[in-house]
Structure 1
Amino acid sequence: MAAEGPLEATVTLFYQAVLRDGGQRLGPRLRRAFAAWARVEDDGSPLLEHSRGRTRATLADTEVCGRYALDVPTGAGRLRTTATWAAGRRPEKSWVLVTVEGDLSPTAEPVRAPGFMPAFLATGRATDGAVPVEAGAHLVGPEEVKDLTGRLANRSRAVPLIVLTVDRTDPAVAAACADHLAEALAGVASVVRLYDAKTQDELNAWLGPDLSVFGGGLRTYLPGVRPGEESYAMRHQPRGGNAIREHGTRALGVVVTGVVELSAHRQVPADVRQAEPRVARVLSGALDPADLHAAPPSPAAIAVPRPPKIPKQAAPQDPVPEPEAVEPEAAPEPPAPEPEPAFEEPTAPVAAEPAAPGLPAPDLPALPEDGRLAGAIAARLADHLDDAVLEALVDMARGGDSETTALIRTMSAHLQALTRAVETTGLLGRRGRGDELERLRREYGQLEMDYVELQEQERKAQDRIRWLEGRLAEHADPVYGVQDEDPEGPWNAECLMDVVQRARGQLRRLDLPDTLDTEVSRLDVTYPRQRRRWAARAWDALRALDAYAAARAEDRFTGGFYDWCSRPLPGGPHIIPTMVSMKESTSVAGNPKFYKARVFRVPAELDPSGRVYMPAHVKLQPVGSPAPRMHFLDDAGGATGKVWIGYLGDHLPNTRTN
């Protein structure tokens, strides 16, 4: 069975609300509602941590941003609710991001809006960026139909709008259902209840017969309502009045589940996506609050210079003291020389104990009880690690080099030696392994978000270079390539489903069937932190396949897709060749089970059987688990002149999976 990823293997995003709130005292209002729901006695301190059994709550904020979290057990797993806020450059740009993620058993109750959401929405006038998102159901009469149609038609609306009609036999049923929906979907939908039949008729006159709602039923209107122009009106799902009258609020479960799941796929606005990872740094004091909404730095701007190699130069100048310090005390314990390289740098500031690197054991009784020396060592080491890891990430974004690899290996060896030495002394004996693991998890998540941000900046820089080469080709030397169609830089997708939908609409030389959606959605929902990285790579790969297919079909290029990635036409989109594999291994191709898993549907014009083996694939993540793959069939030089995408999802079974 393949190993799971380090953190995200069992984490699923269940609920996500993105709100704009330009009212005063956004942080205190949100904190007050969250603390009351989490049953925390809030003293208003900048950082408040509260534990009750296995339930943990954290409230942390400043004048410009904050993050409140509640972590509760769910049988064998846990569920984490997080509310993050930040004051925008202008009041109307201030935002709140609420998420619920974790691990639930199949028999657990489905996730709904957190209980604090209605109370928070009642304190201000939140919107989704375009239309109001109220705390309860909004009652609409004939005089407000124009305002309702304006909300429905608003092209910037991001949340579904649920309209319930009046039930003439029992008006109380519609009211109860509206209140139930407003509470269960607080923050991710707007609920409207029509006052009477006249209001219903006026609204239906504007909607038209395909989009109308009547008979005590309801309809969920997704963003982008276009009366008279809908190619598939049933995407705005109706729910009949008979089912509601018979089952009451129980008939609304499918509506609630559908909207909550849809919220997890909602694209986070660019300014929220950029600022949200920085909130943790501001709260920890590592980032100035003024930089919360600063433009993303380029890799060169945040590169950390390598530390001077002074200790290595100083070591040969006094070779005598080190052997004298080590030999007498290291005799009883042979591994003693091993910690020497690890203690060489961290102990430099501890002037009062020059013999500590070679003599940890005799000095142990003199150490302070509170472990201040351990703290100093850990802090110094963390500084070095933070700088080195950030530098490594920058180098990785640029392509990597041998010096970076050597640095990482050296750091790893030093860290292991230092860890063994510190554990031997017992300096960290009182520190719980759970606390350390939690800290490492937080740092890992932060570094991963930093890495994604650097990747996005690199992609923008590469596209900008291609665009500039195109302008040069227009005015000077054509060897520089062609002009890019999008001079503003690459489009940044929030999830893989966004990529698939955009590719279907824009990339004419590709075919992406609806059968892709199941596996694509599973990756999006199950791995919320990694999906942005995969989405960027998938979009780059699809653009490269489309450009290759166009060049090949028009006889401007000869060779396969791997050749295109190795030697693309000037200015043409491409990916690094190591992401591309045009065949599977012998152990996969020769195994009927593995072979069958890579057979996908194609038109009869490609194969009379309607199914073809597709070994060629793009690696969205080279190794690990999950390691998404995109399998395709190259017919760019054939009858269709297209590339057919057969699969986009987690790694298909092979000899290393079950």
Structure 2
Amino acid sequence: MGVHRIWHHGLVPTEGKRPLDALRSRLISRQRQHDDYTVTDLGSSDDGGSRRCDLEFAYGDGEGRYSVQVFLSLCYRAGEDRVTWLLAAACTRPWRSCHVAPAHRIGLEELGASGHDEIPIETPVLAMRGWSREECDHLADLLGEALVAPWRTSAVLVLAEPPTVPVSGWPGLVNVFDVDDRFRRTLNRNLPLGCAVPAGARLYAPPCDQLPDFVETASPVSGEALEGAITQLLQARGRTPLPEEWAGVASVRAWYAADPFVAPDRGPDAELTGKLGRAERELAEARRVITILRKKAKAHAEERDRHACEVKALRGRLEDVSATDVVCLREQLAQLQEEVDDCARAFEETEAERDELRRVNGLLAGRLARHHDADDEVAAAGRPPEEFPSFAELIAAATASLKHLAITADPAPAAILDHHPKAAAWRRKAWDALRTLDAYAGARTSSLDAGQDPGPELSDVLAFARTGQPGSLISANIIALAESDTVTTNERLRQARTFRVAPRTNPAGRDYFGAHIALERFKAPAPRLHFLDDTDRTGTVYVGYLGAHLPTSKTN
């Protein structure tokens, strides 16, 4: 009897305080509802900072023509927000694209699972025809990154024309995207020339299977050919070694190397007999202990009733004493709340005065640097900061007038802030921050172009503001040149801070913006302005985001 193997792995979002136990319970509960397969809990283990559990599933076609054995290993590491999984399956027949995928049979995709490349494992074809430009651009960007990722272990079929025979996905190994021509062109702009989607269909094989991509340009697209390509991919996966992160797991390696359809030989178990004798002796001893405990419980119940009467009397006395104290405490609480509100208003006024003094200090420093324009600078210092009715107009003005900045920020997050009561103050502070970045970029670029060492005062934006250089209009206390290690090392949080840049800065067209300026330090929505200093290479400071505080490990 031949054993035809296959594997795939990925991630599942966590739920609750014990996500591993919750996933195991949901898989076992689903089996009780469907009853067309069996599930065996092989137990769990702890390994340092991680917990692991293994489940085994078995099913057939009901007529004895074939049977399937499935091994599912789940691993959760403390502090992470997802559970990693590996599904290994063996069948007594060769896998074909028309067969039910094991991940679908046991309901793994119902848990919101995705592949190792974070593409959801779903059976239906994702239709992407008639989507808006913003939706197309966003998904094309994400899909383009996944298609060229060397760690992708699932295949992606992109259909630009409908095939002669409907083609569906194979959860865990093949995802199908049905796109229109506009999305196809948008996706191709995010892919290298050799990876472009033709006006037909393309099956992107996983790099680990070492298969060439299947390209179909005939019109109409041959559905039979696509089904054959998917079947070839499934057969190749049976020859692909397990991923390195799972190959070292003893339970996974042992199951994948053995023949799961061979029943193990079982003989008399002397050790089990000995354990049974010990269990009987322990049961007799436990019964004696229970008798003693029942007697003690009766005595404790009587003592508890006596204490309950005493507590009831004490509670009555406490209520009489606290009736007057509560009124006094409430009056004190109201007075303290008024003092807190007064302190908050005084703090906001002090911050506003500090920002204005910082702005005037920057203008006066500019006057000293440009003494021949003293009259114009004094007049400018006497004028209040420019007012903008909305963040959109502020961004437009900055784009037009601040030549050393490249503003690639999406205006939508900033527009949400316009409805906040403190929006006017945030716009003034954002305008001063943008002008400070522009002044820093101009001063540093001029020094580099002249072949001079910029010196410590121009080493970065923080040093520029801290030393009070000409054009510095904001406090150094609101500037941070990097995020915390928690954010920097978390891929999901890092991606939230990755924004567009010019190819000359990063050929990928995107880069990580860790540096930021706080327009409001503590109170939600705590707006932030994220920037990227590229003055050493292009003489430009990028502004990639202006809006509410981006997610952190505490807010999500």
Instruction: Give the TM bin, normalised by the shorter chain.
Output: 0.3 to 0.5
Going by fraction, where is strand more abundant, 1 or 2?
Answer: 2
Instruction: Please report the TM-score for the alignment, with normalisation by the length of structure 1.
Output: 0.30
Q: Which has the higher contact order (CA 8 A, sep 6+)?
A: 1
Q: Which has the larger radius of gyration?
A: 2
